[in-house]
Amino acid sequence: MELFKKYGGYIVVLIGGLLVGYLSAGGAEATEDHQHDMANEKTEQYSCAMHPQIQQAEMGKCPLCGMDLTIASINSGAGTNQFQMTETAMALANIETTEIGVGDLEGNTLILSGKIGSNEQTDAVQTSIFDGRIEDLQINYVGQYIKKGNKIGMIYAPEMYTAQDQLLTSASYKETHKKLFDQARNASGLWRMTDAQINQVLKTGKPISNFPIIADVSGTVTEVLASEGNFYKQGDPLFKVSNLYTVWAVFDAYENQLPLLKTGQEIRIGSDTFNGKEYKAKIAFIDPVLDAANRTVAVRATLKNKEGLLKPGMFIKGAVAVDLSGQLLTVPKSAVLWTGKRSLVYVKPDPTKAVFEMTEVTLGNVIGDSYAVLNGLSPGDEVVVNGTFTVDAAAQLQGKKSMMALTNNVPISPDGGMNFKGDFKMKFTAALHKYSALKDALVASKPMEVSVQAKQMFQAISEIDAGLLEEAIGSHLKEMKQHIDQISGSASLEEQRKAFKPLSENMVAIATVFSDLDQPIYVQYCPMADTNKGASWISFQNEIRNPYFGDAMLTCGSITKTIQ
């Protein structure tokens, strides 16, 4: 008892110290844990993988699709223009990447656009054999078949009438002046009168005024140059014919494609009208002279056409296998985002981290399902090839560089990020059809029709209530009206096409955010438009019909994006 009294005070003090130390350590640990949790709250943000515009600071469900929200981004360790996504978000959005490099590209193809033309080596021209007026012409449309020796019309020949009159005059004294008679008869013969015709004149005593036109050639009529009632001199062309048992496939190759092409290369030729049938031929000729206006060179192959399925004027596509092993860097088409003349990809700088960065690239030829890369990427770079728009949405939501900064740096987010209120989609689709009619008028190079269609499109755009839309969409609609007004108020085709470029850029900017259209639309791009600066447009058809050049360079361009 005395011992407890002696040391009891010390024991109490010791226990108290231990208790204070424990509580202090625990409190510090609790404070540290609390601060760690606070840090997590500051760096973590929850989003829907399918609708990245949904953002909130805590777990929950997406109000649009009901999916559980996941951590959208943890940007620790990312650079200034880089951003990070969670593995879960990448998996749900099916984001895929691939490493690009200079690999074995044998078997890839270069796609060329062209037309079927007649084989000029088998072409012929029917000419007039008399000076005279055509009274009857049985050849009056392209596609008719004529046979050599058949009668194809009648011609009134005044000089022939005079020659026959001289013949009849000399016939009255042929017994006494046989040489003069023979000379008159031979003169008539030189004018292509047959012996039977001359004998008929001598027998009846009446000159022939209308002579039959006899076909000198056989083949299918490819161009009619003459018409009834007109006067033609001897040797004037009446129509052209071609033997279509063989035809030419003529393609336009741009000057930067010429190093990939050579005579003797096999080319596979197809068309939507062939029902899947493919023709194989060899490149027989590459024009040595460049078309300075179109910056193209004609590439030609000869095709057998015994079945007559190949018609001159028919649009075709040619696929040439090219071997670019060790020479060219390519990137898959699915990796590229287009914003007017800019082309962008998302690069994954560190293969071990889900960090991405937008990179602008310069592209060259289409090689199969890829583009040749001229600048912006290096061998070994890992790029996004699937889910690119989802990655771009994440970039925009985190305030990073985004493809949607098109006009005046006004951002647009992918489908779901726009505030499409009321009947915007329906009315914009109606405006898109008016735009298509405007584009077709430019293709046809008819400035008056262009003006009419522009006014109709302006009316369609005016029916959209921009006040119900986000600022980005409203800005695009406002600019579209300005450019449409410029087109409708101009009678110059050149000025109309100049204003059509920014109009199309704004149309593409809005159209690309849709994903459930009634029919697919195609974003097409011609690098030669606007004095080689390039320009895009939208089409409901996948065939290239260039509104910036019309017939001058109708097939210049390629499809850069399909919106469905």
Residue of 352, 310, 345 whose CA lies nearest to 331 = 345
Predicted local confidence at residue 509, as pLDDT: 76
Q: Which fold has domain 122-242?
A: OB fold (Dihydrolipoamide Acetyltransferase, E2P) (2.40.50)
pLDDT, greater one: 186 or 377: 377
Segment 230-276, tens digit of pLDDT: 999 988 999 988 888 889 999 998 766 777 788 999 999 988 777 77
Q: What mean pLDDT comes out for the span 444-465?
A: 89
CA dihedral 467→470→472→474, nearest 10 degrees, is -10
Strands, E, within 42-140: which ranges?
A: 45-47, 55-56, 70-73, 82-84, 96-99, 108-118, 123-127, 132-137
Segment 410-419, tens digit of pLDDT: 333 333 344 4
Say how far apart CA 343 and CA 358 lie, in whole Å.
10
Is the confidence at residue 560, as pLDDT, over 70?
A: yes
- Strands 132-137 and 151-156 turn out to be antiparallel
Q: What mean pLDDT comes out for the span 423-434?
A: 81
Predicted local confidence at residue 49, as pLDDT: 54
114 C-beta neighbours (distance < 10 Å), count: 24
Cite the DSSP H helix spans in 404-492: 424-443, 447-462, 471-488
| Of the listed ranges 44-58, 253-267, 387-401, the one predicted with least confidence | 44-58
Predicted local confidence at residue 545, as pLDDT: 92
CATH of domain 109-119+244-322: 2.40.30.170
Say how far apart CA 458 and CA 368 lie, in whole Å.
39
**In which band, very low, low, confident or very high, does the pLDDT at 496 lie, cut at 50, 70 and 90?**
very high
Q: What mean pLDDT comes out for the span 465-473?
A: 61
369-373 long-range contacts (CB < 8 A, ≥24 apart) are 369/332, 369/333, 370/108, 370/330, 370/331, 370/332, 370/333, 371/330, 371/331, 371/333, 371/336, 371/343, 372/324, 372/328, 372/329, 372/330, 373/100, 373/328, 373/329, 373/330, 373/331
pLDDT, greater one: 59 or 155: 155
Q: Where are the domains of the chain?
A: 2-89, 109-119+244-322, 122-242, 424-563
pTM recorded for the entire structure: 0.38
Predicted local confidence at residue 20, as pLDDT: 40
**In which band, very low, low, confident or very high, does the pLDDT at 23 lie, cut at 50, 70 and 90?**
very low
Say how far apart CA 295 and CA 179 lie, in whole Å.
65
In whole numbers, what is the pLDDT of the chain averaged over residues? 77
Segment 288-320, tens digit of pLDDT: 998 877 778 999 999 998 888 888 889 999 988
Is the confidence at residue 526, as pLDDT, over 50?
A: yes
Q: Is 311 helix (H, G, I), strand (E, B) or coil?
A: coil
